[in-house]
Amino acid sequence: MPWGPFQEQRVYNRRRDIHAVYGGQQQGGTCTPSQHPVVILFTGASGEQHGYADGWSTEGVFRYFGHGQIGDMVFERGNRAIRDHLVDGKDLLVFQTRGREGVRFLGQFECAGYSIEPAPDREGNERSAIVFELVPANVNELVNDELELVEEVKLDINLASLRARALEAARSTPQASGKAARRSLYRRSVAVRRYVLARAAGVCESCGKPAPFVTAQGEPYLEPHHTRRLSDGGPDDPRFVGGVCPDCHREIHHGVHGQAKNEALIEVVRQKERLSGA
């Protein structure tokens, strides 16, 4: 899955290809550029000397240890940025350090949850460590028993109820791990999506035209677009997500006038949300 200029599994020069373009901290495992809606993480074997042991779980979740070399880890600076990246409307990118070879792009992820676990610090003393549960940014894919979550959210037919559920879902990252974290992320994503599409009421919030077709489920086909982020995926504050037709969606991301179109969509959504009591 590509993200901007980065292609998965390709190796890049951290200083030239990342910091020269996006800025941010050039040392350490977390880069939080102030001028771009992105949080960039670096993982590698060097972290093990500080008690970090990043890696994939059997549930398909990438377990990423938080930062803080001595004493209990806390939700400050980089750790807060990782936990709240979806709330803040920022994409999360993960690179694997390869020594002198550079850094390999593992892909775009979303923080589905976190756990607090005992782990040694740099001095060998046991402390409480934050372990983030990162899921590849493909939460729109339905997985077996997760189909029931869609039906659950459909039970809310009142727009105000859908909005309340979406706002609540988008503004928190749960303390959950493994499959529970994946399900929580999917549940939040469905809640935001259902509300945004219900708010659009079958009309593209960008061009104002009716949805191009009706789905097999009998619903007008529109797509959620995250106006604060460079790519689309899991939950974001629904006040910053628009329901748009496929043509407008592609133009926003790839068109020469995409930025202006995105800014116009932001204003349309803002006006709708203001009338809803935002």
Contact in structure between 40 and 30 (CB atoms under 8 Å)? yes
| β-sheet bridge partners, residue 136 | 109
Q: What CA–CA distance (Å, rounded) separates 74 from 120?
A: 15
Q: What CA–CA distance (Å, rounded) separates 23 from 218?
A: 46
pLDDT number for residue 264: 97
pLDDT number for residue 259: 95
- 16 φ, ψ (degrees, to nearest 5): -75, -45
Q: What CA–CA distance (Å, rounded) separates 29 from 1?
A: 22
3-state secondary structure of 163: helix
Q: Which helix (H) or strand (E) holds 109?
A: strand 103-120
Number of other residues whose CB lies within 10 A of the CB of residue 190: 25
- Domains of the chain in sequence order: 11-136 (2.30.280.10), 144-270 (no CATH)
pLDDT number for residue 1: 47
Q: What CA–CA distance (Å, rounded) separates 133 from 129?
A: 13
Measured CA distances, 109 to 1, 62, 85, 156 (Å): 11, 9, 10, 29
174: its two tokens: 């749960």
Number of other residues whose CB lies within 10 A of the CB of residue 268: 17
Q: What CA–CA distance (Å, rounded) separates 273 from 239?
A: 6
Q: What CA–CA distance (Å, rounded) separates 234 from 35?
A: 22
pLDDT number for residue 112: 94
pLDDT number for residue 143: 47
Q: Which amino acid is at 16?
A: R
Pairing of strands 103-120, 30-31: unpaired
Pairing of strands 11-12, 30-31: unpaired
pTM score, two decimals? 0.86
pLDDT number for residue 142: 45
3: its two tokens: 């993200």
Pairing of strands 126-136, 103-120: antiparallel
269: its two tokens: 């959504």
pLDDT number for residue 2: 57
pLDDT in tens, the chain (278 residues): 457 789 999 999 999 999 999 998 888 899 999 999 999 999 987 656 555 689 999 888 999 999 888 899 999 999 999 999 999 999 999 999 988 889 999 999 999 999 999 988 888 889 999 999 999 986 554 444 444 555 555 555 689 999 999 999 888 899 999 889 988 898 899 899 999 999 999 999 999 999 999 999 899 999 999 999 988 888 889 999 999 999 999 999 999 999 999 999 999 999 999 988 65
